[in-house]
Amino acid sequence: MNLGPGRMLPTHRSALNRRQYRKAIRLYRQGKIQWADKQLAGIRTDLRKSLRAQQVERCYFCRQLVYQERRNACEDIEHYLDKAKPRYRKWAFSPVNLTMACHPCNMQKGSRDLGDAAMRASKSLRTGSGSFKWLHPYFDDFHLNIEVHPGWIYAVKPNAPRAAEATAMLRDLELDQIKRIQKTAQRYHDLIARAVVVMNKLIERNEIDRPRMKWVTAFIASINEELRWM
Ligand SMILES: [Zn+2]
């Protein structure tokens, strides 16, 4: 199963550099608008699309599928260094600070500060600027450090170059705990139940045409594929 890239590339840099977004980004950096502001809607959409494609629709941390739960949801874009912290606000649109995460990982990460004192004092976001508490999506290779086994069992690889960071990441995200595995199974079952509800609604309204039918079957097939891995 393709669990996405080991090390991410800042391919969304060009989207972030678009002329029409410059003003909104400046306003955000100055603290005049917030992340959810509609002036940033276009850039959030571009970012989400780019990150989703690169991460093959998977969460950077746990590598499980991230389903678009709500329309216009913007909470799946994850800032590795928390944008809510004033010292990291300047990196809210830094290409190497952006990734996509699932809701459970996002919640588990919370407001944790993944930088060290040197990073907090740094003006630029680079590897040499300081160190990170977890693996970094752009500076470290996930697959060189973590092995994901069927059943969503995670292990730090022997001779992992970033063993301490990989260990901390698995521990803090509780990816090594049975309750997390149970939650994953439950989430997939809930998604199938919801697909059935949607399908029934479409049938009732007589709206079940070929494209919708295709979409629903593809959705169920993708969840089934994930469940086979449990
Ligand atoms: Zn996740």
Interval between CA 106 and ligand 1 midpoint (Å): 7
Interval between CA 64 and ligand 1 midpoint (Å): 6
Interval between CA 100 and ligand 1 midpoint (Å): 9
Residue 201 lies in a domain: yes
- pLDDT tens track, the chain, 230 positions: 889 999 999 999 988 999 999 999 999 999 999 999 999 999 999 999 999 999 999 999 999 988 765 554 546 899 999 999 999 999 999 999 999 998 889 999 999 999 999 999 998 898 888 899 999 999 999 999 999 988 888 999 999 999 999 999 999 999 988 888 888 888 888 888 888 898 899 999 998 889 988 988 888 888 888 888 77
Residues 79 and 157 in one domain: yes
Residue 161 lies in a domain: yes
Residues 122 and 203 in one domain: no
pLDDT of residue 46: 93
CB of 170 within 8 A of CB of 148?
Answer: no
Whole-angstrom distance, CA of residue 116 vs CA of residue 118: 6
Residue 6 lies in a domain: no
Interval between CA 225 and ligand 1 midpoint (Å): 17
Interval between CA 199 and ligand 1 midpoint (Å): 27
Interval between CA 173 and ligand 1 midpoint (Å): 8
Residues 175 and 207 in one domain: no
Number of domains the chain is built from: 2
Residues 28 and 138 in one domain: yes
Residues 192 and 176 in one domain: no
State which residues form the domain around 189: 183-228
Interval between CA 68 and ligand 1 midpoint (Å): 13
Residues 108 and 171 in one domain: yes
CB of 72 within 8 A of CB of 116?
Answer: no
Please name the helix (run of DSSP H) or strand (run of DSSP E) that holds residue 210, with its range, or none.
helix 210-228
pLDDT of residue 81: 96
Residues 164 and 201 in one domain: no
Residues 162 and 187 in one domain: no
Residue 66 lies in a domain: yes
Residue 131 CB partners (closer than 8 Å, separation 6+): 115, 116, 118, 119
pLDDT of residue 198: 87
Residue type, 220: I
Residues 165 and 194 in one domain: no
Whole-angstrom distance, CA of residue 140 vs CA of residue 157: 14
Interval between CA 9 and ligand 1 midpoint (Å): 19
Residue 4 lies in a domain: no
Residues 213 and 133 in one domain: no
Tell me the CA distances in angstroms from 5 to 78, 141, 189, one per residue in order: 16, 8, 27
Q: Which two tokens stand for residue 20?
A: 């029409």
The DSSP bridge partners found for residue 77 are 100
pLDDT of residue 72: 47
